Amino acid sequence: MGNSTAAYGSRAGIKTAVFLPHYTSEEKISAIGIHGAEIFKIKTDNYSDMKNAILNRAEKLKIRVVSGNGPIRIEGYKSTAFELFEQTGGNLPDYIAVPTSACGHIRGIFKGFRELKEASIIEKMPKMIAVQSKNINPIVAAIKNNREDIIPALNKNSIAEAITTGRPYGGREIIDKIYKYGWLAEDVSEEEIIRAQKLIAEDGFFVEAASATTAAAVKQLIEMGKIKASEKVLLMLTGSGLKDLESVKDYTYNINKVDLDNIEEWMTADE
């Protein structure tokens, strides 16, 4: 979001400031900085408190803020549903697993499918799966404890840095929808996220840790019998791994250092 805000601000000639928690990856910061935005790294371990403080001060100062749950942003998110309908030829999945933090994306996707259904373009909407890290799981914790209110998850960190909102503004609405529409909610450990990221890479997709949570969660739900083998599930893998290389720095791989003179020897070594 910071990247797109900086990019469009630059294109429109609007002075743009982007506020980030101190643990934001350098890759994300560089992508924002190249557009000329003013960048502020905030010393906080609580993303929700940082966001709320900025929103409150911005309202007082009458400064326009772009955040995850803004109504205009939701209108953009809903296009995900339209794209899925077009690309699948209407053969939609039974479930869509969405990394969930401030709740804007999952709410926007649902809005898109609801509009398709209201227009009689589809008869049945896919069910959503709200996915979170076990370290920061205010929505999943509420569902697993049969509650209707948010259980804040504060002062914690996760390798899935893109989904670290511990007290989401839109959380109560998503909890209501989970109960109303029979959606699922699941959280995954840091170790499960890392394994899922590697598993997805074996299929040719390099995604950031937040996106990898979806694969780990769906695996657990299948093992628990909450998703049937015959049901189709779509994973929302919208975050590129290039946005957070720090999360993969501990992976091991071989690098062969060779001279150009004996490159042919290495090229034919396995023949």
Asked whether the beta carbons of 32 and 42 are under 8 A apart, the reply is no
User: Considering the chain, what is the average pLDDT of its residues?
Assistant: 92
Considering the domain architecture, whether residues 141 and 56 belong to the same structural domain is answered as: no
Residue 115 is part of a domain; what is its CATH number?
Answer: 3.40.50.1100
Considering the domain boundaries, does residue 260 fall inside one?
Answer: no
Considering the domain architecture, whether residues 223 and 236 belong to the same structural domain is answered as: yes
Radius of gyration over alpha carbons of the chain, in Å? Answer: 21
Considering the domain architecture, whether residues 82 and 194 belong to the same structural domain is answered as: yes
The 3-state DSSP composition of the chain as helix, strand, coil percent (nearest 5) reads: 50, 10, 40
Tell me which of 71, 86, 121 is where a domain ends: 71
Considering the domain architecture, whether residues 124 and 58 belong to the same structural domain is answered as: no
Give me the domain span that covers residue 110.
75-248
Tell me which of 42, 71, 100 is where a domain ends: 71
Considering the domain boundaries, does residue 195 fall inside one?
Answer: yes
Query: Which is higher by pLDDT, 188 or 65?
Result: 188
Considering the domain architecture, whether residues 67 and 83 belong to the same structural domain is answered as: no
Considering the domain boundaries, does residue 98 fall inside one?
Answer: yes
Report how far Cα 197 is from the mean position of its chain's Cα atoms: 13
Total tally of structural domains belonging to the chain:
2
CB atoms within 10 A of CB 205: 16
Instruction: Using alpha carbons, select from 68, 48, 55, 56 the residue that is nearest to residue 4.
Output: 68
| pLDDT grade for 83, boundaries at 50, 70 and 90 | very high
Considering the domain architecture, whether residues 50 and 177 belong to the same structural domain is answered as: no
Helices (H) and strands (E) in the chain, counts: 11, 6
pLDDT in tens, 175-191: 999 999 999 999 999 99
Residues composing the chain: 271
Considering the domain boundaries, does residue 264 fall inside one?
Answer: no
Q: Where are the beta strands (DSSP E) in the chain?
A: 17-21, 38-42, 95-99, 127-133, 184-188, 233-235
Considering the domain architecture, whether residues 61 and 81 belong to the same structural domain is answered as: no
Considering the domain architecture, whether residues 66 and 79 belong to the same structural domain is answered as: no
Considering the domain architecture, whether residues 6 and 126 belong to the same structural domain is answered as: no
Considering the domain boundaries, does residue 270 fall inside one?
Answer: no
d(CA 220, CA 31): 34
Considering the domain architecture, whether residues 48 and 137 belong to the same structural domain is answered as: no
Please tell me the number of Cα atoms within 13 Å of 182 on its side-chain side: 7
Considering the domain architecture, whether residues 63 and 81 belong to the same structural domain is answered as: no
Considering the domain architecture, whether residues 91 and 179 belong to the same structural domain is answered as: yes
Instruction: Say whether pLDDT at 70 is over 80.
Output: no
Mean pLDDT score, 45-70: 84
Considering the domain boundaries, does residue 168 fall inside one?
Answer: yes
d(CA 233, CA 18): 35
pLDDT in tens, 223-245: 999 999 999 999 999 999 988 88
Considering the domain boundaries, does residue 256 fall inside one?
Answer: no
Mean pLDDT score, 180-206: 97
User: What percent of the chain has a predicted confidence (pLDDT) above 70?
Assistant: 99
Give residue 270's pLDDT. 66
Considering the domain boundaries, does residue 29 fall inside one?
Answer: yes
Give residue 247's pLDDT. 78
